[in-house]
């Protein structure tokens, strides 16, 4: 790792030397994990709509902040300060969760049971792996 750092002197886009992707990347991570949890709560509750509404809002928030995180990671990747893999995985997570948000717009049980839950699981795994790969950039401390 030390060699990699040595070859990557470029700092990620930062505000007063603090990389800003670390502000925005956690939002989709937390929201998509949260949506998976509230999906499971909905199914477990036998149809308490509070939980599926939670999921829909978490997905919406994760998607909005996910766009910001994607733009930052894209710029960082172009500048060589972030892994393309992290960007690619976050993009994949975003696409899966966007489709998931359409499924979650259905009225009631079919918003989650079946396709909705599967997409929540896939999206959560993808966003977690994206977060894990983005970690390499954190080590870039000159």
Partner 1 sequence: MIRHALVGAATLALAGCGNPQKIDPMQQVGPNPVLPAPHEELVAAVGVPKVVGWKPGETPIVPNGFHIEAMATGLANPRRVYPLPNGDILVVETDRQGSEPVDRPKDPIRDFIMSMAHGGGGAKETEGSAGKPQRITLLRDANGDGKPELKTILVDHLNSPFGVVALGGYLYVANTDALVRYPFTPGQTKITAAGQKVLDLPGGLIDHHWTKDLTASPDGSKLYVGVGSNSNSGERGPEAETNRASIWEVDAKTGAFRVFASGLRNPNGLTFYPGSNTLWAVINERDELGPNLVPDYMTSVKDGAFYGWPYSYYGQHVDRRVRPQRPDLVAKAIPPDYALSSHVAALGLTFYTGSSFPAGFRGGAFVGEHGSWNRTAYNGYRIVFIRFAGGRPVGLPHNFVAGFIGPDGKARGRPVGVAVDRTGALIFADDVGNTVWRVTYTGGNSGQPRA
Rule CB under 8 A: say whether 118 interacts with partner 1. no
CB atoms closer than 10 angstroms to residue 65: 19
How many residues are given for the chain?
142
- Sequence-ordered list of residues with C-beta below 8 angstroms from that of 131, at least 6 positions apart, any chain: 25, 26, 29, 86
Output the smallest distance, CB 115 to partner 1, in A: 9
Please, is 16 exposed, middle or buried when counting C-beta atoms within 10 Å of its C-beta (0-12, 13-18, 19+)?
Answer: exposed
Rule CB under 8 A: say whether 3 interacts with partner 1. no
Rule CB under 8 A: say whether 103 interacts with partner 1. yes
Rule CB under 8 A: say whether 102 interacts with partner 1. yes
- Specify the 3-state DSSP secondary structure of 83: coil
Please say which residue, 46 or 142, places its beta carbon nearer to partner 1. Answer: 46
Binding segment toward partner 1, per CB under 8 A, in 26-34, 53-61, 76-84, 86-94:
53-61
Please say which residue, 84 or 109, places its beta carbon nearer to partner 1. Answer: 109
- List the interface residues with partner 1, window 58-77 (CB under 8 A): 60
Distance CA 120, CA 100 (A): 7
Binding segment toward partner 1, per CB under 8 A, in 29-37, 66-74, 101-109, 123-131:
101-109
Closest CA to 86 of 2, 5, 12, 6: 12
- Contact positions vs partner 1 (CB under 8 A): 46-47, 49, 53, 56-57, 60, 99, 101-103, 105-111
């Amino acid at each position: 790792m030390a060699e990699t750092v040595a070859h990557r002197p470029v700092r990620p886009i930062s505000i007063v030397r603090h990389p800003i992707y670390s502000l925005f990347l956690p939002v989709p991570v937390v929201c998509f994990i949260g949506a998976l949890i509230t999906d499971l709560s909905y199914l477990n509750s036998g149809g308490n709509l509070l939980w599926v509404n939670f999921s829909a809002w978490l997905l919406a928030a994760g998607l909005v902040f996910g766009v910001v995180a994607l733009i930052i990671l894209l710029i960082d990747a172009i500048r060589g300060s972030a892994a393309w893999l992290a960007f690619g995985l976050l993009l994949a997570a975003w696409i899966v969760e966007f489709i998931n948000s359409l499924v979650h717009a259905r009225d009631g049980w079919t918003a989650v049971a079946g396709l909705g839950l599967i997409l929540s699981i896939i999206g959560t795994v993808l966003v977690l792996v994206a977060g894990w790969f983005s970690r390499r950039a954190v080590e870039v401390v000159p």
